[in-house]
A and B are shown apart, each in its own frame.
Chain A
């Protein structure tokens, strides 16, 4: 027993860095463009879901419109670099700022809505943005989108290969992980969790819950925009397709699958859902010849519903290793689904 304890004590500080180093070496060892590109996509989605996880898992608010923020980031880069010749780095900053501003604008009225209505409201927003990508042809290129986005470059560094992009994206993932880890242990993190636990008690503790929810919403939009901007630089082409309602549902699914309010939930959720998507893309045409992407969303929706019913706390709480290192008690209480059975009665 005592020996075991000492063993874990020695091991622990090295465990996570070791994992990170091993993971970062992956694209060098496994020389496969396909695997590298899947890992990049997982990284991009993880960034989005990390933000969405703060909104859903901590502030207790749902959004079915983050495909729209993701798209705003992507189109900001596409339009600014190809039509206005902005330097890539500036365009990327705009890709972060634009969704943030839009979120600040729509957030105040939207977050007044509760649960189901908030889901509907954000969904409407996402669809609106998506429609705009399709219809505002002069600016967005309509359904055929915008091609010819330059590589992301800064100084002498040009991100012109999958390997380079892999490192860029995963460096951002780690940075966001670091920031969120700090955030949830701070005064702000406590306030966010308090909103999820009891909004009334949070307010009477002096927390401006409306403002904090808005901040969480803006934060999640910034990250979705960042991921969208990186995505545009990665594929050097944007079209409306990846930014629609399907995407929004997938992001919510990732957040829920991974476990809301858990530290590694976003990473886990994004990984599982992307891998499942890859599997479905391969498997569905075998079963239903000629079937396209429209069947994927059915499966994803089904999984989401089943999870909500049978395992609302997600899969992130299955193993203790997957929860935040500092957290004392994983379990149902840690994983509040927005509004999941928590009443808002005044009493």
Chain B
């Protein structure tokens, strides 16, 4: 198992945002995390990426204990993410956003950068090529020199994904990548995620769009009020009455 989460718990004041959550993600799969608003999905991401410290529980990544590490150390360990409320570097160009995502691939330091020692250009050139290739994959290479903030919303989501991929991570956490996308964009996104999985990337996907989840996920974990209420394949979860009750209300069906 690439990622093993056990007994993860996080309280905010009196509210238990995440309670005793455990799951395992196999390498090369897409693992979906679903649940109603406020179920604790984003909090799980914040705990895995070290932006929050768990009150209890453990996170193991490729056999290495991650809880307690800082976010940048976790990024260096091979986990990156996107944000539900976009966190682009808005004043930087689209290309610079992706190049910054590749930060850990470079070595240039403060002094070397100021003196523009030889070797910097070569390093930058490589990172630019790599970043442009990633932008090409999401169809944003034509906008490379625009400020990221000038992109339409859907493109900004794709840019966040490209940025998250730039460091060559083994695991990417995607927080509602389809939110705000139209249906064509959503289908393209789903295709892209499957392609990434076929290339060996592991992903954890938080998404409200059930069609996308059912289409791409290998396994699904359902949270409600911070607790795990079900886990299984898309078919199993879809058929689980607990899920239907808690997640969709009494009379709806999962698409």
Residues in chain A within 8 A of chain B (CB atoms): 179-180, 182-183, 186-191, 193-194, 196-198, 200-209, 215, 219, 261, 328-329, 333-334, 336, 345-347
Query: Which of B76-84, B196-204, B245-253 touches A?
Result: B76-84
Task: Tell whether, in the assembled complex, residue A186 and residue B108 are in contact, meaning their CB atoms are under 8 Å apart.
Answer: yes
Task: Tell whether, in the assembled complex, residue B72 and residue A347 are in contact, meaning their CB atoms are under 8 Å apart.
Answer: no
- Chain A residues within an 8 Å CB radius of B166: 205
- Chain B residues within an 8 Å CB radius of A215: 110
Task: Tell whether, in the assembled complex, residue B147 and residue A193 are in contact, meaning their CB atoms are under 8 Å apart.
Answer: no
Given known A203-B70, A206-B76, A209-B72, contact A179–B115 (CB-CB < 8 A): yes
Most buried by B among A193, A196, A204: A204
Task: Tell whether, in the assembled complex, residue A187 and residue B167 are in contact, meaning their CB atoms are under 8 Å apart.
Answer: no
Given known A205-B101, A333-B149, contact A190–B80 (CB-CB < 8 A): no
What are 12 A-B contacts defined by CB distance under 8 Å?
A: A179-B115, A183-B110, A187-B99, A187-B120, A187-B124, A196-B91, A203-B75, A204-B81, A205-B163, A206-B103, A206-B104, A219-B110
Task: Tell whether, in the assembled complex, residue B123 and residue A187 are in contact, meaning their CB atoms are under 8 Å apart.
Answer: yes
Give A328 to B147 CA distance when docked, in angstroms. Answer: 8
From A198, A328, A336, contact of B145 by CB (8 A): A328
With an 8 A cutoff between CB atoms, is B244 at the interface?
Answer: no
Please give the distance in Å from B16's CB to the nearest CB on chain A: 17
- Chain A residues within an 8 Å CB radius of B108: 186-188
With an 8 A cutoff between CB atoms, is B122 at the interface?
Answer: no
Residues in chain B within 8 A of chain A (CB atoms): 42, 46, 49, 51-52, 70-72, 74-76, 80-81, 83-85, 87-93, 96, 99-101, 103-104, 106, 108-110, 113-116, 120, 123-124, 127, 145-147, 149-150, 163-164, 166-167
From B51, B52, B103, contact of A207 by CB (8 A): B103
Give A219 to B113 CA distance when docked, in angstroms. Answer: 13
Most buried by A among B76, B80, B114, B115: B114
Give A207 to B149 CA distance when docked, in angstroms. Answer: 21
Please give the distance in Å from A1's CB to the nearest CB on chain B: 22
- Chain A residues within an 8 Å CB radius of B115: 179, 182
Given known A204-B81, A346-B46, A347-B83, contact A190–B99 (CB-CB < 8 A): yes
Task: Tell whether, in the assembled complex, residue A201 and residue B124 are in contact, meaning their CB atoms are under 8 Å apart.
Answer: no
- Chain B residues within an 8 Å CB radius of A186: 108, 113, 116, 120, 124
- If over half of A's interface residues share one DSSP class (helix, strand or loop), that class is named, otherwise mixed; here it is helix
- Chain B residues within an 8 Å CB radius of A208: 70, 72
Give A206 to B99 CA distance when docked, in angstroms. Answer: 12
- Chain B residues within an 8 Å CB radius of A180: 114
Give A190 to B91 CA distance when docked, in angstroms. Answer: 11
Task: Tell whether, in the assembled complex, residue A201 and residue B110 are in contact, meaning their CB atoms are under 8 Å apart.
Answer: no
Task: Tell whether, in the assembled complex, residue B106 and residue A200 are in contact, meaning their CB atoms are under 8 Å apart.
Answer: no
Task: Tell whether, in the assembled complex, residue A207 and residue B124 are in contact, meaning their CB atoms are under 8 Å apart.
Answer: no
Task: Tell whether, in the assembled complex, residue B93 and residue A328 are in contact, meaning their CB atoms are under 8 Å apart.
Answer: yes
Give A203 to B83 CA distance when docked, in angstroms. Answer: 13
Given known A197-B92, A198-B89, A329-B147, contact A205–B110 (CB-CB < 8 A): no
Give A179 to B46 CA distance when docked, in angstroms. Answer: 37
Task: Tell whether, in the assembled complex, residue A204 and residue B75 are in contact, meaning their CB atoms are under 8 Å apart.
Answer: yes
Task: Tell whether, in the assembled complex, residue A346 and residue B72 are in contact, meaning their CB atoms are under 8 Å apart.
Answer: no
Residue of B nearest to A335 (CB): B91
Residue of A nearest to B77 (CB): A206
Give A268 to B221 CA distance when docked, in angstroms. Answer: 57
Give A324 to B224 CA distance when docked, in angstroms. Answer: 51
Give A209 to B51 CA distance when docked, in angstroms. Answer: 13
Give A347 to B91 CA distance when docked, in angstroms. Answer: 20
From B85, B89, B113, B164, contact of A188 by CB (8 A): B113
